[in-house]
Structure 1
Amino acid sequence: MIDNWVGYVVVCFVGVIMYRFYWYPLYLSPTCKIPGPPIDHFLLGNVIRLVNEEPAEPQFDWAMKYGGIVCYHGIVNRPIISVTDPQILQKVLVNNAYDFPKPSYMITDLKAILGDGILMSEGGAHKRQRKMMNPAFTFTNIKEMVPTIVRVVHQSKEIWKNQIDEEEKRLIISSFLSKVTLDIIGLVGFKYEFNNITSENELANAYTRIFHHKRTALNVAVSVLVHYIPWIRKLPLPRNREIRRCIKIIEKTSLKLVKERREFFREGKPIGKDLLSLLVSINENLPEEEKMSDMELKQQIMTFLTAGHETTSSATSWSLYLLAQYPEIQDRLRKELIEVFPDPNFEPTFDEINSLEYLECVIKESMRIIPPVPIIIRTPAKDDILQEYLIPKNTPIVVPIAAIHKLPSIWGPDADKFVPERWLISDLTSKINNYTYMPFMTGSRSCIGNKLALIEFKILLAVYIRNFKFKMIEGFEVRKRQMIATRPYPAIELLVSKVEV
């Protein structure tokens, strides 16, 4: 009798598991009506392909085969919706943006590094923060930051020049640029001298350990599983302990910066035009109920520190990598720069750097081919309709920006090629909008610091291409990894030589 009951319980348990993780998601869920690829594994769905390929590559293939809305499956066959259709993107990212928040598992994991600032906040909290912070990112304020950016970039240029004592030198590009952009955000963001490119720095080391860690099977498994089982980050694994130590350093530095600036302001000391000073000044003049606390400001600083240097360093690294592959494009860009700036130690103004037509094309094309953030994820806060399909509450909706940026229907048959000249073709540019090209996202959740990031990117590229030639290293290969930004793995290395003009 007992054996019969045990058998009955086992059968029921297996039946529930099969229904929950196989029959329902694959055959009974409303998402089954959405076209998409068959699963590759009984329990892992399409995850193996997603892990083994570069960000958004599978989504590109599926968009080409199945259309603008596709359903594929994650671990235990969880339905995931990939969207490239402009009308759906408009609804999810603009018209009803606050009805499609970031998934809770993503927020939990990223908040630890980025802080609970404007990038992670939702709904009313995000609206309040955005309204309060917008005045700090005006063109007037960005223009005043340009001389500081130029000074740091030239300082980094001199370091490279001193290292190149031969005809050409093999240099690690991406790791160095991460240090340069952290120095820049330290100064323009917080009027703080990290001196990262000339000396060891605790904060820089913390970011290095977070973003440049060894890619082991366990680390990859944890980074995938945390999206489904968030408490995995709390396990006493070596990688988890290292991340926690690094986050404590970032939090400590961020809070220290806020308290120092608040003290300066209250004592009437001059505090400058850096972002933190502007935020503190704006915040102090708000009604009491709208003010941010020191802890809230600390969260914003964590966001600026991390996102503000990682995205720009990655974008610049990839751009140099692309230009090394296309020497004729690199030469054309250098020709434009030398004509406008014959002095290699040029100090461009905001207007001068933005007047360079071909530099603008190279920047745009670099971010099209390798966008700073290749994929974003949203979830409907309630059951919703996309096209004619019912999307249940909390179903992940992936916006594969890297895939959208390469759709031949938008960009033509050479969409996968690096062709900066395409941005000079009016027939093409007239078809481009905020849903076909979005390196900084779009709508109310677009990157608030995009003006600063763009001018920094342009100055970095202009100074380096004006002063150096970059060549590929035979046999060297690099892959894309999605973290905060599209990170290269391993770090990008190039052959660098001086331009003697």
Structure 2
Amino acid sequence: MFYYLPLYIFDSFSLSNLLGCAIIVLIGYFIYKFNIYPLYLSPLCKIPGPPVKNFFYGNVRVFEDSELGERLVNWEKQYGSLFRIHGFLNRTFIVTTDPKVVQNIMTTHAYDYRKSRQLPQLTDTIGEGLLLAEGNVHHRQRKMMNPAFSFANTKEIVPIVVRISHQLKEIIMNQIGDKKEERITINSLISKATLDIIGLVGFNYELNSLTTKSELAEAYDEITNTNKSYWDVLIILLSGYFPFVRKIPITSNIRFMNAIKTVGKISENLVKERKNKIAKGELKGNDLLTLIIKLNEDLSKDEKMTDDEIKYQIMTFLAAGHHTTSQSLSWSLYFLSKHPEIQDRLREELVQAFPDPNFQTTFDEIEHLKYLDSVIKEILRFIPPVSLLSRISTKDEVVNGYFIPKGSMFGISINTIHHKSSTWGEDANEFNPSRWLDPEIKSKVTNYTYLPFNTGQRSCIGIKLAIAEFKIILAVLIRNFIFKEVEGHKITTVYGVVTRPVPDIDLFVSKIGV
């Protein structure tokens, strides 16, 4: 009887039955992994947090009813400085605004928390460069590149930023022409200007995005495209769990991967061309790429970066070096248009400092403008470039009395930290640059209560360059133009990899004195 058992089973338990059982098992596993365990059995369930209202989206559905920033601020008030939320497929995020926890994650034990790869399109866009490198690799890359971002080198690139800023000014002047004012979509112009700047200061490469069609600019337009359909967004979310989804040959995936290939190809060619010219003694530049290649040549074999690593640094500089600055500049013009009294006060300071509208400036001159500095700091507080930093723990630990198992996802809510009334006063939810002139407020600002550029070992290596670029472009624009909001043009804040406006920002722009 035993000898015929397999045949008996096959006869009575058909292939369709086996398939049905397999499907039931898979569904059961899916329900357990993405619903029962994270919502009811995980140790993280002991951490307080808002209720989950959707099987697939966790608390994400809530974000569609109200902006994420406001919702996180409210949850922090309700549940405290450490609380739990659920993302797509109920992935648990431990959100924190506690300065001590932030210090532990970002500084004290920074390399015990790795960056999340939940958004593989970010890895595709910037490669395994400084922004995503981990542990000893990150430490080695950062140590090698630090000299390239010194104050001395930052001061030397200021004339390039000034030139491109005035080029942007002339393009806006021409768009206005003889009219009293012109409605201009500001994001695109500023993005092209910052891309041209990073091309020159980063690689001594004339992209000319402001004046001509640029293959690189078009590639980044596709990568950062905000007009995504529901299915495009779903593919992005699914690819964080199932990377093969990005390989499905549908139109959006094909466009995205072609754009990534363009960025990678241009970056690779830049490295090859620059190394050849340096080897032949044909190039003596102070752009970041040249400095990095020269610094790399002086290192031991174990410390040197490979050509691929250098290529990834270029991809990182191109993406992080222009996109975050352009978004912050666009936001600054938007809020200055909504607060004309602040815009007027800033313009008064700029006119006094630079009577000539075609002014040239130095790093030291622009750094001494106190109200400009306050406006820049306030926009970076009010709308931080990155609203939520994610980290994954690599060890079991206890945080604020809660057991946190290895592999848990932390979310440092920078936007919430930047809107705490205990630090910023009762008007924390208002755009008010004058707070930065208040000694009492300034005394409360630390690396863990104000972190627009991150903090600790993973802080932005190009912070000095980014702030100088931000100040110069904004100074040139406010010195030469008046920006007014377009009534009825509603802007929504979208919290993604970078905090961005949707739709693009349209403003009425007029020339000074016209």
Instruction: State the TM-score bracket (shorter-chain normalisation).
Output: over 0.9
2:170 corresponds, among 158, 166, 186, to 158
Contact (CA 8 Å) 1:325, 1:472: kept in 2 or not? yes
Query: Does 2:194 match 1:181?
Result: yes
Distance 2:417 2:35 in 1: 30
1:247 is displaced (CA, Å) by 0.8
Query: Relative to 1, partners in 2 of residues 1:339 and 1:247: Cα closer, same or farther, differing over 3 Å?
Result: same
Query: Does 2:111 match 1:86?
Result: no
Task: Indicate the SS of the match to 1:379.
Answer: strand
Task: Indicate the SS of the match to 1:56.
Answer: helix
% identity of equivalent residues = 49
Residue 152 of structure 2 corresponds to 140
Question: Which of the pair has more CA radius of gyration?
Answer: 2
2:458 corresponds, among 422, 445, 464, to 445
Residue 490 of structure 1 corresponds to 503
Distance 1:362 1:334 in 2: 11
1:11 is displaced (CA, Å) by 7.7
Query: Does 2:159 match 1:124?
Result: no
Deviates more, 1:253-262 or 1:17-26: 17-26
Contact (CA 8 Å) 1:379, 1:395: kept in 2 or not? yes
1:103 is displaced (CA, Å) by 1.9
Query: Does 2:322 match 1:339?
Result: no
Query: Relative to 1, partners in 2 of residues 1:327 and 1:258: Cα closer, same or farther, differing over 3 Å?
Result: same
- The one-letter code of the counterpart of 2:323 is E
Residue 23 of structure 1 corresponds to 36
Query: Does 2:213 match 1:200?
Result: yes
1:213 is displaced (CA, Å) by 4.5
TM-score by length of 2: 0.93
Residue 114 of structure 2 corresponds to 101
Measured on the aligned residues, the alpha-carbon RMSD in Å equals 2.0
2:124 corresponds, among 93, 112, 116, to 112
Task: Indicate the SS of the match to 1:413.
Answer: coil
- The one-letter code of the counterpart of 1:112 is D
Query: Relative to 1, partners in 2 of residues 1:251 and 1:19: Cα closer, same or farther, differing over 3 Å?
Result: closer
Query: Does 2:231 match 1:218?
Result: yes
Task: Indicate the SS of the match to 2:453.
Answer: coil
1:241 is displaced (CA, Å) by 0.7
Residues 146-205 of structure 1 show CA distances to partners (whole Å, capped at 9, x for unaligned) of: 011101100110111111120100011011100000000011111010111011111111
- The one-letter code of the counterpart of 1:34 is I
1:432 is displaced (CA, Å) by 1.1
Task: Indicate the SS of the match to 1:475.
Answer: coil
Alignment length, in residue pairs? 500
Query: Relative to 1, partners in 2 of residues 1:161 and 1:45: Cα closer, same or farther, differing over 3 Å?
Result: same
Contact (CA 8 Å) 2:247, 2:253: kept in 1 or not? yes
Contact (CA 8 Å) 1:172, 1:491: kept in 2 or not? yes
Query: Does 2:404 match 1:383?
Result: no
Residues 30-72 of structure 1 show CA distances to partners (whole Å, capped at 9, x for unaligned) of: 1111111111123432121235543433222211110010011
Residues 463-499 of structure 1 show CA distances to partners (whole Å, capped at 9, x for unaligned) of: 0000000000010012223444222211111000001
Q: Which runs of 5+ in 2 are unaligned?
A: 1-8
Residue 472 of structure 2 corresponds to 459
Query: Does 2:274 match 1:261?
Result: yes
Residues 6-40 of structure 1 show CA distances to partners (whole Å, capped at 9, x for unaligned) of: 89988876665544333332222111111111111
Query: Relative to 1, partners in 2 of residues 1:420 and 1:338: Cα closer, same or farther, differing over 3 Å?
Result: same
- The one-letter code of the counterpart of 1:144 is E
TM-score by length of 1: 0.96
1:231 corresponds, among 238, 244, 263, to 244
Distance 1:230 1:402 in 2: 29
Contact (CA 8 Å) 1:55, 1:402: kept in 2 or not? no
- The one-letter code of the counterpart of 2:136 is G
Residue 181 of structure 2 corresponds to 168
Distance 2:395 2:483 in 1: 50
Contact (CA 8 Å) 2:69, 2:495: kept in 1 or not? no
Distance 2:27 2:194 in 1: 53
